[in-house]
Amino acid sequence: MAKKPATKAPLPEMRCFLACDAVSTDPNTGKKSLYGLFDTIWGADFPGAFRPFAIFIRLVGSHAKRNVTVEARGTDGRALPQTPLAMEAKFEAAEGAELVVHLAGLEMSKPGNVRFLVKCDGNQIGWPCVIQVKKAAKK
């Protein structure tokens, strides 16, 4: 008799993927508050550095423990030194999972795009979080 293939729980779906200055959690309700949402960084000089910030990710579905990895590529196309960041997420039946990635900063080699990707058990899910890096006008 042939072995029945193991069924695999579906991958979670991405609902939110945002860059922000900070994320806080209400101790009574567990609700997250995001501060200073942004999608563009203005740099005066290149290469340069950007201050610490956070990435907020909301995933739903799956109802299982999953390995989630956040990968990032800088404006030069190379992987950022602090990534990939790996974490384990347990998806509850109704709530899904909210993940917060705190980054110590960002080295910006030149203007362009910084791209963050989320992978779940090695499979990319959702869309990338893209932060534009632009040169600020001189005053």
The ranges assigned to domains in the chain are 13-26+33-135
pLDDT along the chain (139 residues), means of 10: 50 92 94 96 90 92 82 88 72 74 88 93 92 89
pLDDT at 92: 63
pLDDT at 5: 37
pLDDT at 81: 79
Q: Which residues pair with 53 in a beta bridge?
A: 103
Which H helix or E strand runs over 63?
Answer: none
| Predicted model pTM | 0.85
pLDDT at 1: 44
Q: Which tokens belong to 44?
A: 């005066």
Q: CA 96, CA 89: separation in Å to the nearest integer? A: 9
DSSP state, residue 29: T
Q: CA 20, CA 88: separation in Å to the nearest integer? A: 22
pLDDT at 12: 87
By the 8 A CB rule, do 115 and 83 touch?
no
Region 13-26+33-135: CATH code: 2.60.40.1930
